[in-house]
Amino acid sequence: MNIKVSLLVVLSLILLNSCVMLYNTQDIRNTINSNVDQTNRNYSKVKADYEQKNKIFETLKSSIISLKDPSFKVISDEKVAFDSAYQNLTKTKEDINRCQQQFEQLVIGKSKIKSNEPEWDKLKQIKSDMTLSTSQLNGLGESYTSRSNSLVGAINNSHYKRLNKSTFSSQMQKNIGELKNSLLEVNGQFKLFDNEMRKAYMNKQINDSTYQSKKEIAAKILVELNIMEAAAKRLVALESKFQRRNNKNDEIWIGENTETNALMKKIESKIDVIKKAQLEFRSLSNALKPKTE
């Protein structure tokens, strides 16, 4: 009877030992590492996309006069959603990397983990967390792509447009250069007319009354010249301001509610001032031309 009992105990112990499960840590490591590597590769593409879109948005934002303007608010709302999608994806990627770190800490000095060891349940939890995060990552990736496309769409469908800075700058400098040359020509013409008028008076070719009348015209011309010179100086200052503001940018943003658009309007107003002054100058200079009595 005692022999039978002993045999039953031995058989029970053998059965219990045969039910012990185990994980080979290197096999799990290989699976986790492969999962993490794929996650990081995919994330690096997302990060590059995010940095590119974020730079575009921040460059536009720095050009905006009123951030509360409805035209920009549509874009900024899309950017908030875009940021949130990226942050959620980043957090999940970090959770997967954290699972890898927890695994490595858990299996230090172990080539196998058995189901009857205290590390078993922790290992199962790590695997469960990684599986969950990996499945979530797929959905978050689709959400990020959707938000990225929505942000680009909002910008492209807005009235804000990008221009090559060097092209815009070159055209602006060309216009200012032409105005400067025109101003020099006008000054030269005025000096010539003024000298001819004085010579005509000294040579008794015009009388006192005519001379005084032409001196009044000359004074009016000087006023117009001063207006043109002041406007030209302001143009140079505006151009310098533009260069300082955009010295690090390859592209600029234009459209209502942008700094560049406001600058363009100021430049155009100064050009209009110069053109009006030029027309007045031509009219006055014709009256200034000395006539022999």
Tokens found for residue 69: 């303007």
Model pLDDT, residue 289: 64
Model pTM? Answer: 0.75
- Do residues 157 and 254 touch, judged by C-beta distance below 8 A? no
Instruction: Give the separation between CA 174 and CA 169, rounded to whole angstroms.
Output: 8
Mean pLDDT lowest for which of 14-28, 66-80, 105-119? Answer: 14-28
- pLDDT at position 11 is 37
Alpha helices in the chain (DSSP H): 2-18, 25-63, 70-106, 119-156, 165-202, 208-245, 259-288
| pLDDT, tens only, 8-30 | 443 344 444 456 788 899 999 99
- Is residue 24 within 8 Å of residue 111, measured between CB atoms? yes
- What is the tens place of the pLDDT at every residue in 144-156? 999 999 999 999 9
User: Tokens in use for 221?
Assistant: 């011309």
Q: Single out the residue of 112, 116, 84 nearest to residue 25, CA to CA.
A: 112
pLDDT digits (tens, 9 = 90+) for 140-183: 999 999 999 999 999 999 999 998 888 888 888 888 888 888 88
Reported as a single tens digit per residue, the pLDDT across 222-274 is 888 888 888 888 888 888 888 888 888 888 999 999 988 888 888 888 888 87
Sort 71 into a burial class: Cβ within 10 Å, 0-12 / 13-18 / 19+.
middle
- Give residue 3's pLDDT band: very low, low, confident or very high (50, 70, 90): very low
For 227-265, letters b (16+ CB in 10 Å) and e give bbbebbebbeebbeebeeebeeeebbbbbebbbbbebbe
